[in-house]
Each structure stands twice: as structure tokens, then as C-alpha cells.
């Protein structure tokens, strides 16, 4: 009995193996005939139901992945590639393929895992640059963080049988569709052959009979001035080969004649034409030689002899993968690519052209892109409305309307300054810079208000460089902002100067002294400014901030006054009283900064500066008689100090007489240490500062 069961098992095993081999042969036959829609279900049954041994049929698994992709069963393609990833023959090329499938199926964690392992980067030079863009995984965060710019909506003229490539025509909307079931289905993916249709302004679908054929008629554009159609169509199939390439054809409505684009080749893909608004540049996608790899964006220029040789749009745009569906408006080229960093499949991108040079490559973001194919974006003349195509729903191409929502960011600024008179603000230029380059110059109104508008993902600096103020720099960024908003910013100017409102007053009565003279000297530069007070003893001036100034003030009948003004202050306005002491008999005042060499009576040169001021004072008051006295501290002998002080006083008097002072109006008197003004007498320990207060020179009104 046991032998019988064994024989039965062997029979079932043999039958099962025979059945698997039949399925494998059938699937491979369909695969090699490009009948992917028929091959994929058989592969799926073999792998998911029959559990075909991967170590024996690794090549079948790889064919199954390709077949599933061609028939757009990305989930099956991903799961099969996942099984292959554990085999010993799983190559770097396979890893990159798996990476792309991970994006298509939104398995970003697996995509990051593949990138972080470096298996994709080590794949080779033609994949290295793209892989580097993904390496830290941040690219997905950058793309998905802003989904507000575009609002897309599926149009109601989709057929659910494949619709794409809409563009604006004078009579409505033209698009490609597989809705015409009169032509037989295409075995490649069981879809109908494509034809081009017009949605007229009455919302009716019209067939463009001159384009209707038993071949695929792909995307088109229209030259309304010359009545010319540029459209893509596949060539006739070669014998024993159901796959064909595509070329561009030109149909003339006026002559009802069709000609082939002179750069077509039945061995090359040439399709997706777009004619520039002026009709002088024809953009298209092609895999011809001289490109970056696979399908690239190319263009031809119109010449007197027709279209120029095709020109590749360059490596800034094109990659080793596919760049397709070009659309150019104003200074921007929009295109689809699966070779630039994106969410998966074809993503929509834009570049800005300046003097024929592309820059500022941008993925248009998750508001318009998905993990599957997103392509064929066109916009109307306003740039605010258009159409795009995507197979994000049900793996079938659909047309979507696109509303461009320009996010506007406003900076409402208030320019304030620490001085009165806001009318001056309107004269101060506010320079706006981007990347170090001046892009605008703003001026506030009389109240200091100004406004600046911009778009997102920009960085600006606002700079003010004015002789009256310290340099000011403020930044304004719209990066990481996705919704329109208004930012309020106060720009506070700090004046380099402080306004000094000064009044010369009587020291005792505090009453103003009219028409007094004041000299203000910069303590660092030595620069002097002379002022005369008005009839109320008042004058005003501006002094540099964060400095120290000396004042020398005078008026007949008053002792000259010396004082300091410090502008180390946050305030922009300071009030300053300058006091003068009235001359009366018996009044004594100290003369500052009169110095001698140690133990000598010889005047130092710097002492003469103060004595010169005293001379001016005495000349202005010629009837005044004074005693000039010198005092010492308590150190040293009493007799010696008395003699030394007399000699010093006489040195001062002699100098004053030498510069014109009447000798009858001034008397020298040395008091030694007899008139100490503090506790520092003989035997008392004092600081140097305390002793210094006793070493003084004074004048007394006689």
C-alpha cells in the first residue's frame, strides 16, 4: 500500500511539473511576442499560486517583472522583484530596478533602504548622480512638504480607456484617447489604438478624421497661423515584430497633405512635439544618438531651409533615463522625467531659461506629482490654468485640469528711526538683495510704511546704508512656507548721531545766560565746533554716538566752564545744562590739568593749554584782579612745600604775563600744605587720589 501511495505521489508531481513547464513555455512565448497583457496573468499564477522555484527559474522571474511593468501591474512586479532580491545573482542593475519599482508602489522605506545600502550608487556612473540625490532620503520630504500650488481635478471627458496629452486648440481641447473601439485592441497591453480627438466648445467630442488610423496617433500640437498639425504616430510594424517606433508627422490643413518630419527614423523614438509660440522652435522627445541616454528632450530651430539639425537640451535637463513631453511657455520649460529625483515614475519638472541657458530645476511637487506617471502638462496663456495627464488611478491614463494657485507672500514693513521728522524716511532707499544681487529698491512713505511681494522658496535681505545711520540688514524668507501669508517686520534705524539740546545757565540761580559761547571738542579727533547760545541761552547740535566730548563755555562776568558730554546712550535726544559760575569777590575756582615735573616748578606743555583758556577769560574781563594760588599735599617738609607751591604759582603767573595778561591784575601765591581740603594731613595714611585733590591750582577773585 505504501508503494502505491508513493507511485501516486510521483505521478502527481510529474503531472504538476509538466503543467508548470507548459505554463512557463506559454508565458515565455507571449513575452517574446511582446504580448505582455497575456503573459502577465500566467506569470502571476506560476509565481503566486504554483510557487515556481526561483532557484530553477530565475530568468522566468525576471521576465515576469518586465511583463508586469509593461502591463502596468506594478504590485506584482514589486513582489516578484522582492523575491529576486534574495537570490545570489541579484545585481546592482537589479537593485536600481527594484528601487524604481519601490517608488512606483510608494514603498519609500524600501527605496531608502536600497539607497542607504549603497547598492544603487555602486551601480555605475549613469545612475550615480541620480542616486546621490536620494541618498539621505530628504528629497521626498522636500517634494511632499508643499502640495498647495496646484489644484488638480479629473476632467469629465475621460473615457476610462486611456486619455492623455490634452492641449489648447482655437476650437476647443485636443487630446489623445483609446476610446475608439473600431480599431482592434493592441496586444501589448490590451488597450485600443490611440486616436486624436477634439472636445469642441459645445462640449462635444469630435473625431479628427484626417488623423484617424489603425496605428497609434499620439500627442499633437497645432500651428494656428499656418494651419499645421504636428503629431506623433507609430510606424508600420516590421515582419515578425509587433513593436514599432514612433515618428513626428506634419499635416497641412490648407493642402490636405501629410509629410514626415525629416529627422524621423524607423529605428528611433521621435515623438511628443511642441511648437513654440513664435513657431521658430520645435521641441520633442527622442532617443537618438548624442543624448544623455534613453529618451531626451531635443529641439530644432526654424531656418530658411526648414528645420535645423536636432539639438539636445543638455545634461542639466536630460538624464540616463527618460525625459519626455516638453512644453515651453514664456521663459520656462516644463517636462516629465523619471531620471530626475521624484516620487516615482514620471514626475513633472520645470527649468527656467535665461539667455538660452537653463537653471533652477524644480520638481513641481506632490500637489501635481504622484508615485506613478505624471506627464504632459500644458498651460493657457495666463499660466494659471491647464491640463496634465496621469495614471495614478487604476493604472489608466487620465486627463486632469490644473489650477495654478500662486502662493503670494507679503512683507509689510515699517521703517522707524530714533529721530523726529518722519518725512525724512521717504528719502531713504531700502535695497532688496537675493543671493547677493540687487533685485529691487524700495522707499517708504512719509509714515515709514513699505510693502514687498514675492513667491515661495525665496530668501531676501533688506539693507539700508545711509550716512546718518548705522548699517541695517534684515532677512525675509519664504522657504518652508506653503500657504500665502503676510509678515510684519519693523526696521529700526539707529542714528549715528545724538541730538544735544543744551542750555547755558547760571550755576547758582539756574537762569539761562544769553549769547554765551561754547566750544565742543571731540575727545578722540580733537575736532572743535563753536556755538553761540540764543537769547535764552539755548543751542542745539548733533554729536556722534558712543563718544566723549569736552566743552569749554564762557560769558563775560562768569568764570569759564569746562565739562564733558558723553553720547554713550541708547537715546537719540539728550538735554544738557552747561553751568557757569558768576564772578564775585572772594570766589575761588580750581584750574584743572595744570601739571609740573615731580618736585619742580617747571610747567609741562600740556598745562599751557588750560592756562591759555584762563588768559582768554582774563582778557575778556580786563578789570578783574585775581590771585593765582598753588597748593601741595602734606607729604614732604612743610617749609619745602611752601616754597615749591610759591614757585609753581609764580611759573603760572609768569606764563600768563608772557602772553599778554596785565601783571597788575594777577598775583601769585603759594600756600603749600596749609589749606588741605581733606583729612590727609601729616601722619595720616591716604590714597593717591586723596592726595591728588590737595595738589591743585586755583584762582581767587580779589
> Does the pLDDT of residue 156 top 90, yes or no?
yes
Distances (CA, A) of 302 to 240, 279, 331: 38, 8, 19
Give whole-number Cα distances, 17 to 48, 59, 593, 687, in Å.
16, 17, 118, 114
Banded model confidence at residue 668, pLDDT cuts 50, 70, 90:
very high
Q: Measured between alpha carbons, how far is 344 from 523 in angstroms, rounded to an integer?
A: 71
Question: Phi and psi at residue 277, in whole multiples of 5°?
Answer: -60, -35
pLDDT reported for residue 55: 87
Helix (H, G, I), strand (E, B) or coil at 277: coil
DSSP state of 366: T
- Give residue-wise pLDDT tens across range 299-327: 999 999 899 999 999 999 998 889 999 99
What pLDDT does 340 receive?
87
Q: How far apart are CA 362 and CA 352, in angstroms?
A: 9
Write out the H or E segment, with its range, that includes residue 486: strand 485-493
Please give the biggest Cα pair distance in the chain: 157
Give the total residue count for the chain.
702
Strands 517-522 and 437-443: unpaired
pLDDT at 641 over 70: yes
The predicted-structure confidence for 268-288, as pLDDT tens digits, reads as follows 999 999 999 999 999 999 999
Residue with cell 494651419: 227
Burial class (CB in 10 A: 0-12, 13-18, 19+), 436: exposed
The predicted structure's pLDDT at residue 135: 58
- Own/partner contacts of 675-679, CB < 8 Å, gap of 24 or more, are 675/631, 676/631, 676/633, 676/634
pLDDT band at 187 (very low <50, low <70, confident <90, very high): very low
Q: Report the pLDDT averaged over residues 290-299.
A: 92
Cell for 399?
486627463
Q: How far apart are CA 129 and CA 30, in angstroms?
A: 36
Handedness of CA 147, 152, 153, 157 (dihedral sign): negative
Instruction: For residue 591, give the H/E element and its range.
Output: strand 588-591
pLDDT band of 631, cuts 50, 70, 90: very high
Burial profile 470-484: b = 16 or more Cβ within 10 angstroms, e = fewer:
eebebebebeebbee
Per-residue confidence band for 15, with pLDDT thresholds at 50, 70 and 90: very low
pLDDT of residue 183: 47
Helix, strand, coil shares, percent, the chain, to 5: 25, 35, 40
Q: What is the pLDDT of residue 597?
A: 72
C-alpha cell at 88: 545570489
Residue where the block lists cell 511657455: 329
Q: Torsions phi, psi of 263, nearest 5?
A: -105, 15
Between the alpha carbon of residue 639 and those of residues 131, 193, 494, the distances in Å are: 98, 129, 59
Q: Distance from first CA to last CA of the chain, Å, rounded?
A: 152
Is the pLDDT at 464 greater than 70, yes or no?
A: yes
pLDDT digits (tens, 9 = 90+) for 499-511: 899 999 999 999 9
The DSSP letter of residue 636 is S
Instruction: Quote the CA–CA distance of 350 and 149 in Å, as a whole number.
Output: 14
Q: Which domains does the chain have, with CATH numbers?
A: 26-144 (1.25.40.10), 150-404 (2.120.10.30), 409-493 (2.60.40.10), 497-580 (2.60.40.10), 588-701 (3.30.1330.60)
**Residues 201-251 pLDDT 10s:** 999 998 887 765 556 678 889 999 999 999 998 887 665 555 568 999 999
Amino acid at each position: 500500500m505504501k508503494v502505491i501511495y508513493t507511485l501516486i505521489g510521483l505521478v502527481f508531481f510529474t503531472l504538476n511539473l509538466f503543467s508548470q513547464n507548459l505554463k512557463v513555455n506559454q508565458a515565455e512565448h507571449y513575452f517574446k511576442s511582446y504580448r505582455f497583457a497575456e503573459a502577465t496573468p500566467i506569470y502571476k499564477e506560476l509565481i503566486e499560486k504554483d510557487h515556481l522555484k526561483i532557484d530553477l527559474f530565475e530568468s522566468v522571474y525576471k521576465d515576469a517583472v518586465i511583463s508586469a511593468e509593461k502591463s502596468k501591474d506594478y504590485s506584482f512586479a514589486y513582489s516578484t522583484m522582492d523575491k529576486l532580491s534574495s537570490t545570489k545573482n541579484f545585481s546592482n542593475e537589479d537593485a536600481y530596478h527594484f528601487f524604481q519599482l519601490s517608488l512606483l508602489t510608494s514603498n519609500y522605506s524600501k527605496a531608502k533602504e536600497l539607497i542607504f545600502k549603497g547598492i544603487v550608487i555602486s551601480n555605475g556612473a549613469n545612475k550615480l548622480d541620480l542616486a546621490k540625490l536620494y541618498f539621505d532620503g530628504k528629497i521626498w520630504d522636500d517634494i511632499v512638504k508643499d502640495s498647495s500650488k496646484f489644484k488638480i481635478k479629473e476632467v469629465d471627458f475621460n473615457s476610462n480607456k486611456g486619455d492623455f496629452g490634452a492641449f489648447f486648440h482655437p476650437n476647443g481641447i485636443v487630446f489623445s484617447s483609446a476610446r475608439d473601439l473600431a480599431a482592434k485592441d493592441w496586444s501589448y497591453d490590451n488597450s485600443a489604438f490611440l486616436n486624436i480627438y477634439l472636445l469642441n466648445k459645445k462640449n462635444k467630442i469630435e473625431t479628427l478624421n484626417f488623423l484617424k488610423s489603425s496605428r497609434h496617433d499620439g500627442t499633437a500640437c497645432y500651428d494656428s497661423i499656418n494651419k499645421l498639425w504636428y503629431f506623433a504616430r507609430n510606424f508600420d510594424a516590421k515582419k515578425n515584430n509587433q513593436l514599432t517606433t514612433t515618428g513626428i508627422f506634419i499635416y497641412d490643413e490648407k493642402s490636405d497633405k501629410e509629410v514626415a518630419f525629416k529627422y524621423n527614423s524607423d529605428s528611433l523614438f521621435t515623438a511628443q512635439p511642441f511648437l513654440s509660440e513664435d513657431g521658430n522652435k520645435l521641441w520633442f522627445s527622442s532617443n537618438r544618438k548624442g543624448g544623455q541616454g534613453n529618451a531626451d528632450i531635443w529641439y530644432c530651430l526654424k531656418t530658411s531651409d526648414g528645420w535645423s539639425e536636432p539639438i539636445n537640451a543638455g545634461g542639466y535637463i536630460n538624464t540616463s533615463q527618460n525625459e519626455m513631453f516638453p512644453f515651453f511657455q514664456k521663459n520656462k520649460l516644463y517636462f516629465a522625467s523619471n531620471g530626475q529625483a521624484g516620487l516615482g515614475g514620471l514626475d513633472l519638472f520645470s527649468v527656467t531659461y535665461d539667455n538660452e541657458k537653463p537653471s533652477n530645476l524644480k520638481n513641481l511637487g506632490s500637489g501635481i506629482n504622484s508615485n506613478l506617471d505624471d506627464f504632459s502638462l500644458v498651460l493657457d496663456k495666463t499660466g494659471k490654468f491647464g491640463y496634465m495627464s496621469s495614471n495614478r488611478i487604476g493604472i489608466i491614463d487620465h486627463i486632469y485640469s490644473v489650477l495654478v494657485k500662486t502662493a503670494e507672500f507679503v512683507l509689510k514693513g515699517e521703517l522707524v528711526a530714533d529721530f523726529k521728522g518722519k518725512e525724512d524716511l521717504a528719502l531713504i532707499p531700502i535695497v532688496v538683495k537675493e543671493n547677493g544681487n540687487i533685485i529691487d529698491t524700495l522707499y517708504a512713505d512719509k509714515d515709514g510704511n513699505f510693502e514687498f511681494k514675492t513667491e515661495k522658496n525665496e530668501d531676501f535681505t533688506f539693507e539700508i546704508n545711509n550716512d546718518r545711520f548705522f548699517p541695517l540688514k534684515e532677512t525675509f524668507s519664504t522657504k518652508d512656507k506653503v500657504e500665502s501669508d503676510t509678515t510684519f517686520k519693523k526696521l529700526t534705524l539707529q542714528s549715528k548721531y545724538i541730538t544735544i539740546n543744551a542750555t547755558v545757565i547760571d550755576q547758582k540761580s539756574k537762569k539761562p545766560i544769553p549769547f554765551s559761547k561754547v566750544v565742543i571738542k571731540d575727545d578722540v579727533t580733537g575736532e572743535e565746533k563753536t556755538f553761540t547760545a540764543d537769547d535764552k541761552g539755548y543751542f542745539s547740535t548733533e554729536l556722534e554716538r558712543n563718544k566723549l566730548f569736552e566743552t569749554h563755555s564762557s560769558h563775560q562776568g562768569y568764570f569759564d566752564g569746562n565739562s564733558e558730554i558723553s553720547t554713550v546712550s541708547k537715546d537719540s535726544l539728550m538735554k544738557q545744562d552747561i553751568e557757569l559760575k558768576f564772578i564775585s569777590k572772594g570766589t575761588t575756582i580750581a584750574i584743572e590739568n595744570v601739571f609740573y615735573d615731580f618736585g619742580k616748578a617747571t610747567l609741562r606743555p600740556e598745562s599751557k593749554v588750560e592756562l591759555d583758556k584762563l588768559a582768554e577769560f582774563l582778557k575778556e574781563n580786563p578789570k578783574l584782579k585775581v590771585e593765582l594760588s598753588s597748593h601741595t599735599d602734606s607729604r614732604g617738609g612743610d617749609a619745602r612745600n611752601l616754597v615749591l607751591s610759591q614757585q609753581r604759582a609764580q611759573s603760572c603767573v609768569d606764563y600768563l604775563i608772557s602772553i599778554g595778561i596785565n601783571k597788575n591784575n594777577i598775583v601769585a601765591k603759594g600756600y603749600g600744605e596749609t589749606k588741605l581740603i581733606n583729612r590727609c594731613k601729616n601722619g595720616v595714611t591716604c590714597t593717591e587720589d586723596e592726595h591728588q585733590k590737595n595738589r591743585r591750582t586755583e584762582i581767587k577773585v580779589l
